[in-house]
Amino acid sequence: VRFDHSSLLNRPIGSSGLPWHAHSHTGDDDGLGPTTEHNGLQLVRTLLYPHGSSPTDGGSFKLIPGAHLLREIERWRGFDPADSSCSSWLRSQRHPVTGNPLTIKELTLPKGSMISFHHHMPHDVSPRMQGGTRKALLLSYREIDPAGILRSRSRGVPQAWLEELPAAQRAIFDEF
């Protein structure tokens, strides 16, 4: 594996969160675009929460373990477990390996927590309504692309900083 990209996630009070989604990884896709194709390369996302996060402090992180094996990335955009068709679908699904029913896990993350998950794992970040800014560091690692086709820019470097650099220096960041 190699480092792919990073991002600082600061969610202030009033942040809308991010509804149910999963990420594809076919180039520079951030997982929110229209691409649902799976290129066969595996990517692991790791979130570090220095101050923790929990439903009681106005922020929750939810995921559906095992659903990443279904490779139905498009299903998670607009997924709403309160909708009867979504909840009915979820109740009918089984983990492809264990055979256990798929269920939503809502996590309480104490200070200093780290969670790693597969990029196809459906997850949801609730709106931040109280408790101050929720901070997280996202680190993503993926298999090396043997064909050398995929290239990602490190999202740990703000775009505005990159735009201030001369073109020759900016190109260096295309290697990360």
Look at residues 41, 5, 6, 43 and name the one whose alpha carbon lies nearest to residue 22.
43
47 exposed, middle or buried (CB, 10 Å; 0-12, 13-18, 19+)?
Answer: buried
Q: Where is 164: in which H helix or E strand?
A: helix 159-164
Average pLDDT, the chain: 76
Decide which of 40 and 62 is more confident.
62
pLDDT-derived band at 30 (thresholds 50, 70, 90) equals very low
88-111 per-position pLDDT tens digit: 888 899 998 999 999 999 998 889
Per DSSP, what are the bridge partners of residue 57?
A: none
User: What digits encode the pLDDT tens for the residues 121-157?
Assistant: 889 888 777 767 778 888 888 777 666 655 554 455 5
What pLDDT does residue 153 have?
46
